[in-house]
Amino acid sequence: MALDSSALQEQKKIILLSLVTGIILMLAKFTAYFITNSNFVLTDAAESVVNVVASSFAFFSIYLASQPRDINHPYGHGKVEYFSVFIEGALILIAGAGIIVKSTYGIFHPNVIHDLVIGAVIIGATGVINGALGFYMMRKGKSIPSITIEADGHHLITDMVTSAGLVVGLLLIYFTKIALLDSILSILVGAYIVFTGYKLVRKSVAGLMDEADFDVVANVVKYLGDNRRDAWIDVHNLRAQKYGNELHIDCHLTLPYYFDLNKVHEEVSLVDKMLNANEMRTELFIHADPCLPECCHYCNMPDCPVRAEPKTEDIEWTMDRVIRNKKHFE
């Protein structure tokens, strides 16, 4: 299912806002660098270049992810968002490594730094703007949902934290007059940036490799368990995959074996409607299993005409039970 036009337009507006803001703040940070000649300020300026490049690619990835599925892409184009996150993370890694190298060189060949207070004011202002935009994008990324916007929001929050550290560090250098701190603090910030980039790359690779998202599966299992019907004897072999903003689930649903095809279709469709009514943006592939006499001891079906034994046990639907490829009595 592709995003509806209003959600797509909202995503585009958010990314464009991020892109325009990123360009303005990048210019401000490089201005601060040229004023101060500080490697410490350069760390923030270099990362702002990543913000601009990442937002540019994010705009294209959101457009592509919104396209409907076709013959070549039967599950849609949503996974391109993971490529967007990967590129953003890789660029952050490169920027962080470059900062560490340059700052290490600066320990042995220090720069003459000056006007640190002016630089601190500029960097502080950019940090406040990035923080406000980052929190906004994280909230929107979760509500739409969009991994690209959420990742971009996390990156801006990281930038805000970095800027706060920069302001403190610049003032520390200004008051202590220890020029060596400029390079030492830059290395520490560079290491933090590298770690942030690693986490984004790790998240994107996990998505591209269809790594199980246990939080998503646990939420689905809890929702099904809280709303289970008597005819739903058990759910098993449940698997979930995310393709951008879409969640694909396939599972086996055990139903009374005497249900006709229309009744089976009705129960299966009800699961689909319930999950999508919960705004999970879910596409389900449900295989209906017939019950066996061994299911009777935990079956809730009232007045069952073929019950082999009375119900004696309530079996809770837990993630461990639901993901196994066997009925709950096995």
Tell me whether residue 240 is in a domain: yes
- 80 vs 289, which has greater pLDDT? 289
pTM for the whole structure: 0.63
Which of 208, 237, 258 lies at the terminal end of a domain, its last residue?
A: 208
Closest by CA position to 182, among listed 105, 265, 81, 121: 105
Tell me whether residue 118 is in a domain: yes
Give the residue-averaged pLDDT of 293-298.
93
pLDDT above 50 (res 1): no
Tell me whether residue 327 is in a domain: no
**Domain, as residue range, for 291:** 214-322
Residue 199, burial from CB neighbour count under 10 angstroms (0-12, 13-18, 19+) = middle
Tell me whether residue 330 is in a domain: no
Tell me whether residue 287 is in a domain: yes
CATH no. for residue 136?
1.20.1510.10
154 and 277 both lie in a single domain: no
CATH no. for residue 272?
3.30.70.1350
Q: How many domains does the chain have?
A: 2
Coil, strand or helix: which one is 304?
A: coil
Which pLDDT band, with edges at 50, 70 and 90, does 216 fall under? Answer: confident
Which of 208, 224, 239 lies at the terminal end of a domain, its last residue?
A: 208
The interaxial angle of helices 116-143 and 39-65, nearest 10 deg, is 20
Quick: pLDDT tens for 138-158. 888 878 777 778 877 887 887
Tell me whether residue 329 is in a domain: no
Q: In this predicted structure, what is the pLDDT of residue 129?
A: 94
Quick: pLDDT tens for 229-242. 999 999 999 988 77
Dihedral pair phi/psi, residue 249, rounded to 5°: -125, 135
Residue 239 region by backbone torsions, left for phi larger than 0, else alpha for psi between -120 and 50, else beta: beta
Q: In this predicted structure, what is the pLDDT of residue 88?
A: 77
Q: Are 212 and 219 a contacting pair, CB within 8 Å? A: no
